Amino acid sequence: MIFMIFDTEEEKSKFIRLYDKYRKFIFYTVKRFISNEADIEDYLQDIYLIVGENLNRIDENNERRTRNYVITLTRNYCISRWRKNKNVKEEEFSDTVDYQNERFDPLNIVINIESYEMLVKALDKLDYKYRAALELKYINDLSDDNIAKILNINKKNVQMRIYRAKLMVRKYMEELSSGEIGS
């Protein structure tokens, strides 16, 4: 069905090449955000439609930029969908839920949402080279060796970027939670 959005065989071929090259990145990024298989399929279909609609923005000759575009698009789409769905209505909770369980404590849920939002703000403040290393490591669950290949740097540089990024995120989140930085 997705092939119906393409006007030419060239566009269709370009999409197929992009799909073959980046489907694992896209799948693992989506899987980091959600675990329900049916939802994963919905997310993937939506993301592939967005990629297909934006083929003119993608320069296959610039592999690094293309990879970063696809990964960022996927991450932002997942975050956007998560934000839309985070406001779960009370009536959606089942009566069978064990509310004594700490995971279902409304206060813990709110704290986790706020912590996540703080983390997203902190990541957005990072310089691209640090954010990319962190995302590839913790969102895409890639090894330092694979990240080095993707970013075209050596493994030690990857480890240093991740270390520095963690320090910057920690510092920013501490400042944010102490009120030193306005919301």
Domain architecture of the chain: domains with CATH: 1-87 (1.10.1740), 102-183 (1.10.10.10)
Residue range 35-46: average pLDDT?
Answer: 87
pTM for this entry: 0.47
> Would the pLDDT of 101 be above 50?
no
> Would the pLDDT of 117 be above 50?
yes
> Would the pLDDT of 139 be above 90?
no
Q: What contacts 44, CB < 8 A, 6 or more positions away?
A: 26, 27, 30
Could you give the 3-state DSSP secondary structure of residue 58? coil
Higher pLDDT, 173 or 47: 47
Instruction: Give pLDDT tens digits for 141-158.
Output: 788 998 888 888 999 999
> Would the pLDDT of 103 be above 50?
no
Residue-wise DSSP of 129-183: HHHHHHIIIIIS---HHHHHHHHTS-HHHHHHHHHHHHHHHHHHHHHHHHTSS--
